[in-house]
Amino acid sequence: MQRLIPTLRNDQVDEALISVINTLQICAKEISFRCGQGKLAGVLGSTLDENIQGETQKKLDVLANQLLKDILLECKHVRAVASEEEEGIVGGTLDGRYLVAFDPLDGSSNIDINSMVGTIFSVLPAPAEPGAEVDMFLQPGSNQVAAGYILYGPRTMLVFTTGKGVKMFTLDQTVGEFLLTEADVTIAETTTEFAINMSNHRHWQPGMRRYIDDLLLGKAGPRNKDFNMRWVAAMVADVHRVLTRGGLFTYPWDSRKANKPFKLRLMYEGNPMAWLVEQAGGLADTGEGRILDIQPTDIHQRCGVILGSRDEVTTCLQYLKGSQ
């Protein structure tokens, strides 16, 4: 099985970008080890702090964030990083060519129950002139040069795209290296599986309620087929399932949060996952347009996310637009 660096070279990925991806896989191994230690290393539970998102930080959120910052900022190609857990950006090498945005630990509520979590990353080009300003990050997801995630599950997997399809690597613990296990991931166009937090049903827009209600009716309803539901409560794991066997994943508009009607963050969750899904032949939309087309105005901004199998996302969007 092919190792990471030769695979990237085969794809003619720029050497500086290879170095950034290599740095990310070093972080991944370290975080994977810490997640595996759990209580043995005293890393479970919460801190007393709140992050910029208004969430109580888990000890592993803080640890993973610190590891990523420390290791990435040592890479001379990294100009600056932005994180779900940091209010502002953190500068690195002044003439570094790349910016890295990340969700250090996705699925924090799964940490203490020993369920799946992950790290999501998005690499953007830095402007030609040296310096590190927050505005440099405000680029649409279509500008990404690499994006992906590391899933810490029964197997630790690195899944990413550099614009040449989606590749999956599995960490071989015996040699301590990520080896290529899926060279060209494609998402099935049709599906009978969906992922949504059903407990929020009463807070959705009418179109989303009608869409999900019709899925639940199965063969007895207008969709004329039975659907199954899965929700890991970690986007990284729910999207991994979609990439592996198709499906629709959504975290839609929610009436409870008047000024923040969406949960997922554009730069750390929406954009990287949207690019992966598109590269695998699926669709990724906010409900009002392609996620990758959004021009960000704030590094912490949030967006609606509807992604996965092409036909199912299209159907969901028709319900939202009231045409079904």
Among positions 204, 227, 251, 262, the unique one binding ligand AHG when judged by CB under 6 A: 251
CB of 206 to Mn ion, least distance (A): 27
| 278 known ligand binder | no
Other beta carbons less than 10 A from residue 179's beta carbon: 15
**Tokens of residue 322, six digits:** 């009231």
The stretch among 25-33, 77-85, 151-159, 208-216 that binds Mn ion (CB under 5 A) is 77-85
Q: Which amino acid is at 59?
A: K
Residue 234 binding target from ligand AHG, Mn ion, none, CB below 5 to 8 Å by type: ligand AHG
- Closer to ligand AHG at the Cβ: 84 or 278? 84
* Region from 68-76, 80-88, 219-227, 240-248 binding Mn ion, contact rule CB under 5 A: 80-88
Short-list 121, 84, 116, CA closest to 99: 121
Residues from 95 through 114 that contact ligand AHG (CB under 6 A): 103, 106-109
Tell whether residue 254 is a contact of Mn ion (CB under 5 A): no
Give the nearer residue to Mn ion in terms of CB position, either 126 or 195: 195
Query: Cβ–Cβ contacts within 10 Å for residue 138, how many?
Result: 15
> CB of 106 within 8 A of CB of 119?
yes
Q: Which helix (H) or strand (E) is 121 found in, with range? A: strand 117-125
Could you say whether residue 197 binds ligand AHG (CB under 6 A)? yes
34, 263, 302, 310: which one contacts ligand AHG (CB under 6 A)? 263
CB 268 within 8 A of CB 102: yes
Our CB check for Mn ion shows the closer of 14 and 55 to be 55
| Interacting residues of 130 by C-beta distance below 8 A, sequence separation 6+ | 94, 95
Q: Please count the CA atoms within 13 angstroms of the CA of 189 that sit on its side-chain side.
A: 1
User: Does residue 65 touch ligand AHG according to CB under 6 A?
Assistant: no
> Residue 238 interacts with Mn ion (CB under 5 A)?
no
Q: Of 129-137, 207-215, 227-235, 254-262, which segment contacts ligand AHG by CB under 6 A?
A: 227-235
The Cα–Cα gap between 65 and 53 comes to 14
Helices (H), the chain: 4-10, 15-37, 59-72, 206-217, 235-245, 271-279, 310-320
Report the phi/psi class of residue 254: left, alpha or beta, with left for phi > 0 and alpha for psi in -120 to 50. beta
**Is residue 269 annotated as involved in ligand binding?**
yes
**If binding is defined by CB under 6 A, does position 77 make contact with ligand AHG?**
no
In the complex with ligand AHG, which residue's Cβ is closer, 73 or 117? 117
Residues facing residue 100 across a β-bridge:
81, 123
Q: Note the Cα 321 to chain centre separation in Å.
A: 26
* Contact map string, positions 231 to 250, toward ligand AHG, x by CB under 6 A: --xxx---------------
Between 8 and 150, whose beta carbon lies closer to ligand AHG?
150
Which of 7, 58, 78, 103 lies at the binding interface for Mn ion (CB under 5 A)?
103
Binding mask 119-158 for ligand AHG (x = CB under 6 A): ----------------------------------------
Structure-token pair, residue 269: 């969750």
Query: CA-CA distance, 299 to 303, in Å (whole number)?
Result: 12
Q: What's the residue count for the chain? A: 324
Tokens of 285: 């939309």
Chain residues that interact with Mn ion, rule: CB under 5 A: 55, 84, 103, 105-106
Chain residues that interact with ligand AHG, rule: CB under 6 A: 55, 84, 103, 106-109, 197, 233-235, 251, 263
Binding residues for substrate: 106-109, 197, 263
Binding residues: 84, 103, 105-109, 197, 263, 269
